[in-house]
Amino acid sequence: MGIARRRSALIGLLGLFALVAAACSVQETTSYPVDIFTEMHYSQSQRAQEPPRLQPPAQSVAYESVGGPEVPLAVPEFQRRPYDPEVAGELYAVNCAVCHGVTGEGDGPAVPHLKSNLSFYSTQTGLIMGDTGRRLPPNLKESRGTLGDAGLAAFIRSGGNSVMPQFDKFLAEEEIWDIVAYIQDTATGLDRAQ
């Protein structure tokens, strides 16, 4: 009787082990064969915990211009906002100081990389441009007198050379004019950063 009991317990344990092994090997169907995204919003279990999606009102359309499709939308004219040196200084620090430096003298932490012979800008761009490609950031304190407000804004928008990006793709028009005002401001702008 003891052997039969042991045998049935062993069979029960083997069955339980097989059930657990089968459960562990079953993979839930997802978009990816291996779960490489650890963020919760990619997890299958997270979807059940999301709130229900709001449905749009009946008879609604995604977009319809005022007056019908033949009438273009009236975009309001650009309005410059009041200059705030703190906001403008933060915009300059985030977008410009890495190349032009905190004081605007063209001595930012990226300049040694731009000067390096191993830099992309001194190799690939030079081949394309037909020269060394070393277009270093200008001294903004010197440039502000020659370019003026409109010139600085245009330079920021278009990038102006092979290294500087076109900031009109990253910044709103108000932010570009904030940076221009910060560069031109001799009381609380770049000159204050010394």
What are the residue ranges spanned by the domains of the chain? 2-47, 85-193
- Per-residue pLDDT tens digits for 19-36: 777 766 655 554 544 545
Predicted confidence (pLDDT) per residue in 169-186, tens digit = 888 889 999 999 999 888
Pick the CATH number of 85-193 from 3.30.360.10, 1.10.760.10, 1.10.150.20, 2.40.110.10: 1.10.760.10
* 82-100 per-position pLDDT tens digit: 889 999 999 999 998 888 8
Give the model's pLDDT for residue 126.
47
Flag whether pLDDT at 123 surpasses 70.
Answer: no
Q: Is 1 a residue whose pLDDT tops 80? A: no
How far apart are alpha carbons 135 and 165 in whole angstroms?
A: 13
Residues 6+ apart with CB under 8 A from 123: 117, 133
Instruction: Give me the chain's average pLDDT, please.
Output: 75
Instruction: Give pLDDT, residue 45.
Output: 59
Find the mean pLDDT for residues 143-156.
85
Q: Which of 176, 184, 181 is nearest to 141 (CA)?
A: 184
* Cβ density class 123-137: b for 16+ within 10 Å, e for less: eebbeeeeeebbbbb
Write down the pLDDT at residue 65. Answer: 54
Q: What is the mean pLDDT of the segment spanning 125-132?
A: 47
Distance, CA of 100 to CA of 107 (rounded, Å): 6
* Alpha-carbon span 163 to 22, nearest angstrom: 57
pLDDT computed for residue 180 by the predictor: 92
Please answer whether residues 89 and 189 qualify as being in contact, where contact means their C-beta atoms are separated by less than 8 angstroms. yes
